[in-house]
Amino acid sequence: MTTTAPEHLLTADGVTMRFGGLTALDDVGLRVDPGTVVGLIGPNGAGKTTLFNVLSGVLRPTRGVVSWKGAPRSGGRTHHLARAGIARTFQGLNLFPMMTVLGNVMVGADRLARGGAFSLVSGLGRHHRDERELRERATAALERFGVGEHAHRLPGTLPYGVQKQVALARACAGEPELLLLDEPASGLSGHETAELGERIRELSKDMAVVLVEHHMDLVMDVCDRVVVLDFGRVISTGTPEEVQADPAVTRAYLGTSDVPSTGPDDGNGDRR
Ligand SMILES: Nc1ncnc2c1ncn2[C@@H]1O[C@H](COP(=O)(O)OP(=O)(O)O)[C@@H](O)[C@H]1O
Ligand SMILES: [Mg+2]
């Protein structure tokens, strides 16, 4: 397929995801343009993480198409997606516990090196120049996120807020064109959340961002567009102001303890 300067970086069309009898996503459409921040909100169990997994290729949708720069793609491993310019953080931290902070971020920087970081960390042959380049990129990413001093620590020995920055550094070290963030503010203090907002705005100069988040303040602050999911369907799309004023959105959150303007989600709630 030939693509000329695609306007959309990533699109999802008619994406349906079923788990046995449960329809986690029902005919979902989404588009992400370069340099924009798209917010994905909705009550617990709405399908946000499932949509992330479909967008990042961890899950192959039951129906529908995800396209990257205009070219439809089928499912693939996260590692392969990194090569396509998509990086993500997880709802948990998913840092490798037995690897130093620097090692973790070197894995993320791997997209831009020729070999594989996994061969590097497992000690299999790799050119020294690649390793040096990876190390430099990872170190720069850690500095950028203000956690360079912790390079040689194990993640588990660091405060949660620092580990979150490491996870972000790992995702950004490969200079992705699209960054998927699953509840990056959960577990952060108000101050750390405000800082995160500034960072996301800064990152969006270099990459598009899709943000799943419960902190409405953060969503309102950083998102260009917001997509609202409820029971696996898109119930509203627009600017942050538009979706906040949409009665359908208020209704979706009614009767849940999951009011969007309150604190972080523990990720375990589910209404189904
Ligand atoms: N691997 C899975 N197997 C079965 N059901 C799942 C699986 N992943 C998610 N679900 C279900 O799909 C629905 C959407 O979940 P999820 O995408 O995690 O929602 P959210 O991230 O919006 O809270 C929930 O009902 C959840 O229980
Ligand atoms: Mg989730």
**Residues 211, 37 contacting (CB under 8 angstroms):** yes
| Token pair listed for 138 | 């990872």
The pLDDT of residue 114 is 46
The pLDDT of residue 267 is 44
More confident site: 272 or 7: 7
Q: What is the pLDDT of residues 186-237, one digit of tens each?
A: 889 999 999 999 999 999 999 999 999 888 889 989 999 999 999 999 999 9
Q: What is the pLDDT of residues 85-107, one digit of tens each?
A: 888 888 888 899 999 999 999 98
pLDDT band (50, 70, 90) for residue 270: low
Pairing relationship of beta strands 63-68 and 37-41 according to DSSP bridges: unpaired
The pLDDT of residue 128 is 66
Q: What is the pLDDT of residues 36-60, one digit of tens each?
A: 999 999 999 999 999 999 998 888 9
The DSSP line for 59-74 is S--SEEEEEETTEEE-
Give me ligand 1 centre to Cα 195, in Å.
29
Whether 272 lines ligand 1, by a CB cut-off of 6 Å, is yes
Q: Which of 2-6, 69-73, 108-112 has the lowest average pLDDT?
A: 2-6
CATH topology of domain 1-85+176-272: Rossmann fold (3.40.50)
Give me ligand 1 centre to Cα 21, in Å.
12
Domain spans of the chain? 1-85+176-272, 96-175
Nearest C-alpha to atom 7 of ligand 1 is from which residue?
Answer: 19
Q: Give the C-alpha separation, 215 to 139, whole Å.
A: 30
Give me ligand 2 centre to Cα 217, in Å.
18
pLDDT band (50, 70, 90) for residue 141: very high
pLDDT band (50, 70, 90) for residue 257: low
The pLDDT of residue 263 is 42
Q: Give the C-alpha separation, 153 to 46, whole Å.
A: 37
